[in-house]
Amino acid sequence: MQKQSSSKKLHGNPLTNPKVVPYVFVAPFVIYFLLVFLYPTIATVLMSFQRIDGPTQVTYIGFKNYERLFSRNFIQALQTTTRYAIWDVIVLTSVPLLFAVLLHSGLVKFASFFKSLFFIPALTSIIVAGIVFRLAFGTLPTAPVNRLVSLFGQEPRDWLMYAGTGNLVLIVLTLWRWMGVNIIYYLSGIQSIPTDLYEAAEIDGAGSIAKFFHVTLPGIKPVLIYVITITVLGGFSMFTESVALWQQNNPGGVGRTIVGYMYMMGFYKSNMGMASAVGLTLLVIVVLVNMIQLVLMGFFRKED
C-alpha cells in the first residue's frame, strides 16, 4: 500500500510524470522556435505585402514592394553580393584546404603554432579589422598597400573607390578573417580518414597529387559540403565587412550589399515593408543556390 501511495504521489507531480517530463524538456526549444523564428518569419512575410508608415498606419499594397526590387540600387547590390559570394566560395574553400593538407602532411614545422596563428583573426573584432584594412588600402600614395605596389612599378590606386578593387579588398579581408576556421574544419575531416587508405594508395603507386584527389577529397566530402554551404550563406549575408570598410563613404554604391540595402531601406528610409521583401528575396536566393550546390555535390545521392 505504501508503494502504491508513493507511486501515486510521484506520478501526481507533473515534473516527475513520465508522460509529462519529455514535453517539459522540449518546451524551451518549442518556445524559442515559435518566438524567435516562426513568428518573425510570418511577420516578415506579411510586412512584405504592406506599406508601414507608422505603428498604426499599415496599408496592404500587394506585390508593389517586390516590383520595386528591380530598381537600380537593388540590382547593383545584388550584383555586388553575387560577385563577392562567388569569389568568397572559390577562395575560402580552396586556399584553406591547401593549407590544411600542408599542415597535416608533417612537412611544416611548428604546425600547431601555425594553426593557432591562422585562427587568431577569427577572434578579432571585424570593426577593428575593417579600420586597419581601410587604412592599409588607403587612397594616399603613402598607404601601405600603395607603397607595396609601387615597389613593383605599379601606380597607386584608390582601392575602395571602384567595384573591382573594392571587391578584392573584401575578399582579402574575408580570407584573412575566416581562413583559420575553415582550416580547422578541413583538418578535422582529414584526420578522420583512415591511414590504411593512404597506405593502400602508396602500394598502388599513387603520388601525393593522386592521393589528394582520390583519397583526401572523397574522405572530406561531408566537410567540404558543409564549408561550401556556410560560405555561400556568409557570402550572400555579408554586411559588417562592407560597413567596416566603407562606413558612410560608399561612392556609387561600390560596397552596397543586399543586407546593406535591406538595412538602409528598413532603418534609414523607415520602409520596413520594402526591407521585408528584400530579406525574403535574399532568403530565396540563398536557399536556391545552396540547393543547387548540394545537388551538384551529390548530397542527395545515395551511396552504393
* CB within 8 Å of 9: residues ≥ 6 apart: none
Please state, for a pLDDT cut of 70, what percent of the chain lies above it: 90
The dihedral sign for the CA sequence 210, 215, 221, 224: negative
DSSP 46-113: HHTTEEESSSS-EEE-TTHHHHGGGSHHHHHHHHHHHHHHHHHHHHHHHHHHHHHHHHHHT-STTHHH
Indicate whether 111 pLDDT > 50. yes
Which residue in the block uniquely carries the three cell numbers 516590383?
A: 67
Q: Does this model's pTM top 0.85?
A: no
Res 94 pLDDT > 70: yes
Pair 209, 231: CB distance under 8 Å: no
Residue 304 predicted with pLDDT over 60:
no
Per-residue pLDDT of 232-283, as tens digits, reads 998 998 888 888 888 766 666 777 889 888 888 888 888 888 889 999 999 9
CA dist 169 and 11 (Å) reads: 64
Q: How far apart are CA 221 and CA 177, in angstroms?
A: 23
Provide the pLDDT confidence category of residue 1 given band limits of 50, 70 and 90.
very low
pLDDT tens digits for range 185-240: 999 999 888 888 888 888 888 788 888 888 889 889 999 999 999 999 989 988 88
Comparing CA positions, the residue from 160, 5, 191, 186 lying closest to residue 96 is 186
pLDDT at 93: 92
Kindly report which listed range (102-111, 131-140, 225-234, 246-255) carries the lowest average pLDDT score.
246-255
List Cβ neighbours of 208 (8 Å cut-off, separation of 6 or more).
none
pLDDT digits (tens, 9 = 90+) for 7-34: 555 555 666 677 777 888 888 899 999 9
Q: Please report, rounded to a whole number, the percentage of residues in the chain having pLDDT higher than 90.
A: 17
pLDDT confidence tier of residue 96, bands split at 50, 70 and 90 = very high
Angle between helices 111-119 and 163-191 (to 10 degrees): 140
Which residue is associated with the grid cell 545515395?
302
